[in-house]
Amino acid sequence: MFRSKSAWFSGSVSQACQNFWISEGGIIACWRKADYLFSEDATCPDTLRIFESKDYLWNRVVVFHCLFLSTCEKRQSVKSVSIGHYVLPPASVQDALNHLTQTHQKVKNLCVVLCGTIQRVTCLQDTSAWTTCRNIQVICVISIPGVSIASTVKPIAACHKHKQTYK
């Protein structure tokens, strides 16, 4: 499966993953020479050194989560597994994405429209989302500090069936 391919493994990766790589024809190399870099933990000191390197900052290397290898082993194939789904970003990027996801979910829960009758739409400040309810669409646009420079805009509800807009 990995014949003629080289990989570097973080200290956070289990020996079983490394053994699987070798058993499938792969070889182990230093991270600067390896075709693939695998880690299980973005905060592991050896992985942090890669994230802080010029090679990483200049997009010369990508770190992948070692779950890619487990998936290849289960499917007994590397061709049926998209490695792009296993990119391991730095912990700071993961934290930012988690924050945005949580913020979006809060707004999604607060932007509510009663089908057929629009009574009132309420949104939390510093969030942004839109929700669809049958043919009525609520769009809440509010700036997210550090992400958007758009000023706060009143929520708009639009019925696309009747081409009417309610503010």
The overall average pLDDT reported for the chain is 73
For the beta sheet containing 136-140, the strands, ordered from the edge strand earlier in sequence to the opposite edge, are 129-133, 136-140, 156-159, 164-166
Q: State what percent of residues in the chain have pLDDT above 90.
A: 51
In which band, very low, low, confident or very high, does the pLDDT at 160 lie, cut at 50, 70 and 90? very low
pLDDT classification of 36: cutoffs 50, 70, 90: very high
Better-scored residue on pLDDT, 147 or 35: 35
Task: Report d(CA 138, CA 111) in Å as an integer.
Answer: 7
- Where is mean pLDDT largest: 18-22, 77-81, 131-135, 145-149? 18-22
What does 55-102 look like in DSSP terms, one character per residue?
Answer: HHHTTS--EEETHHHHHHHHHT-STTS-GGGGB---HHHHHHHHHHHH
- In this prediction the pTM is 0.61
Highest mean pLDDT among 39-53, 93-107, 139-153: 39-53
Predicted confidence (pLDDT) at residue 9 exceeds the cutoff of 90? yes
Residue 107: what pLDDT?
Answer: 53
Give the pLDDT confidence score for residue 97 in this predicted structure.
75
Instruction: Compute the average pLDDT of residues 74-100.
Output: 87
The CATH architecture one would assign to domain 6-89 is 3-Layer(aba) Sandwich (3.40)
Which helix (DSSP H) or strand (DSSP E) does residue 104 occupy?
A: helix 91-110
Q: Which amino acid is at 84?
A: G
Contact 28, 18 (CB under 8 A): yes
**Helix, strand, coil fractions of the chain, as percent rounded to 5:** 30, 20, 50
136-140 vs 156-159, strand pairing mode: antiparallel
Domain residue limits, the chain: 6-89, 99-166
